[in-house]
């Protein structure tokens, strides 16, 4: 008699695995709060690099030689409930938003943004803050699973990172966008003048990265990141290796090295652009040009979204996640319309 396996509707998971995933995401979100959002994402980079390296080795060995190396470290750990950005990073971001309202006295000396944006802060073992991280880790996992389950033509991990951050603002009574201090949401001049909010040392406008917000500078690093992402894909076939390198490089930003650029959205879309371009343009130099253009556009989208969603309120809403969401939604829709040869890593 054939055994009937009950599955969670839409998600396509057996109930036992689903409940295990919820428990793991609960712990993963708390882990992100304990380490801090940015440190947890650095570990995402390390794990993705490990996973992509093992994946390349599996490819070289082939099915016969790979044996027990047949592991999806990138998918199950790097983008899973342990250090997946939609779980650990999202949990850390929400925990920081909560602490910004509940424990303003914890703000470190010299921090001139709202404390709810200090994603470098590790909250250790404080139970209520870890609980917030845990709950948002579960929420991020559910958003990702549902988005993938219904077949949204978008990077559902990036979308989940964005949505959980917005929901954290709502949950902890922050303005969703905030009020611009200058002539509009795109105006960074109050920051450049050093203007502060009335009765506070907090800056009136808080750009995501003080060293990475000018349009020309952002476009330049986007070109560099896009080309390197494209080259990495061409030589290794790995969609996420350049992303892992970029994410791991943020260790130095976390350690206080000045002017380290944040590039994982640029390198990821550079790799995606190369995969899309190769069947069309054929030559490797042309593929790298397309990859560079993808990096530039993604970088500029990230800057645009940070000026709207990040700079004028009191918590972190991640510009790279927003840029990846926008760009991969565009890729997905254009592919479904028959205008692109593939949808890169979306699996459509």
DSSP secondary structure, 134-183, as one string: HHHHHHHHHHHHHHHHTT-SS-HHHHHHHHHHHHHHHHTT--SS---SSS
Q: Are 348 and 331 in contact (CB under 8 A)?
A: no
Q: Is the pLDDT of residue 217 over 50?
A: yes
| Lowest mean pLDDT, pick from 200-214, 263-277, 312-326 | 200-214
C-beta of residue 237 within 8 angstroms of C-beta of residue 196: no
Q: Which two tokens stand for residue 73?
A: 């470290």
Are 37 and 130 contacting, i.e. CB atoms less than 8 angstroms apart? no
Per-residue pLDDT of 36-51, as tens digits, reads: 999 999 999 999 999 9
Residues for the chain: how many in total? 348
* 157 burial level (CB within 10 Å; 0-12, 13-18, 19+): buried
Q: Is the pLDDT of residue 317 over 80?
A: yes
How far is 56 from 59, CA to CA, in rounded Å?
5
pLDDT at site 1? 42
Q: How far apart, in whole angstroms, are the C-alpha atoms of residue 264 and residue 245? A: 8
Q: Is the C-alpha dihedral spanning 29, 33, 37, 39 positive or negative?
A: negative
* Nearest to 283, CA basis, from 270, 274, 292: 274
* pLDDT tens track for 3-38: 556 788 888 788 889 999 999 999 999 999 999 999
Residue 94: pLDDT above 90? yes
pLDDT confidence bin for 270, thresholds 50/70/90:
very high
**Burial bucket for residue 333 (CB in 10 Å: 0-12, 13-18, 19+):** middle
Six-digit token string for 278: 């190769």
Question: Each residue of 113-125: pLDDT tens digit?
Answer: 999 999 999 999 9
Instruction: Tell me what the mean pLDDT of segment 187-201 comes to.
Output: 88
Nearest Cα residue to 168 out of 68, 253, 94: 94
| Torsion angle defined by CA atoms of residues 131, 134, 136 and 137, in that order, rounded to the nearest 10 degrees | 170
């Amino acid at each position: 008699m054939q055994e009937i396996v009950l599955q969670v509707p839409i998600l396509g998971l057996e109930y036992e695995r689903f409940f295990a995933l919820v428990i793991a995401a609960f712990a993963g979100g708390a882990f992100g709060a304990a380490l801090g959002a940015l440190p947890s994402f650095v570990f995402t980079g390390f794990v993705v690099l490990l996973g992509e390296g093992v994946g390349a080795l599996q490819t070289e060995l082939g099915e016969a030689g790979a044996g027990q190396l047949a592991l999806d470290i990138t998918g199950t750990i790097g983008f899973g409930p342990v250090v997946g950005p939609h779980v650990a990073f999202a949990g850390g971001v929400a925990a920081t938003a909560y602490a910004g309202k509940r424990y303003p006295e914890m703000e470190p000396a010299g921090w001139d943004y709202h404390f709810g944006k200090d994603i470098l802060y590790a909250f250790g073992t404080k139970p209520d803050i870890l609980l917030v991280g845990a709950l948002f880790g579960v929420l991020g996992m559910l958003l990702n699973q549902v988005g993938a389950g219904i077949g949204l033509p978008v990077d559902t991990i990036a979308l989940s990172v964005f949505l959980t951050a917005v929901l954290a603002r709502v949950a902890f009574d922050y303005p969703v966008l905030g009020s611009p201090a200058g002539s509009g949401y795109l105006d960074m001049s109050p920051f450049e003048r050093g203007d502060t909010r009335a009765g506070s040392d907090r800056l009136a406008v808080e750009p995501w990265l003080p060293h990475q917000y000018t349009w020309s500078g952002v476009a330049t690093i986007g070109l560099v990141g896009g080309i390197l992402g494209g080259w990495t894909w061409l030589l290794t076939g790995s969609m996420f290796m350049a992303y892992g390198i970029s994410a791991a490089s943020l260790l130095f930003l976390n350690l206080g090295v000045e002017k380290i650029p944040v590039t994982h959205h640029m390198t990821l879309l550079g790799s995606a652009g190369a995969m899309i371009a190769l069947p069309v343009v054929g030559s490797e130099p042309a593929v790298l040009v397309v990859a560079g253009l993808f990096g530039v556009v993604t970088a500029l989208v990230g800057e645009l979204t940070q000026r709207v969603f990040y700079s004028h309120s009191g918590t972190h809403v991640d510009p790279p996640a927003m840029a990846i969401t926008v760009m991969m939604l565009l890729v997905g829709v254009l592919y479904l319309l028959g205008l692109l040869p593939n949808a890169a890593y979306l699996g459509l």
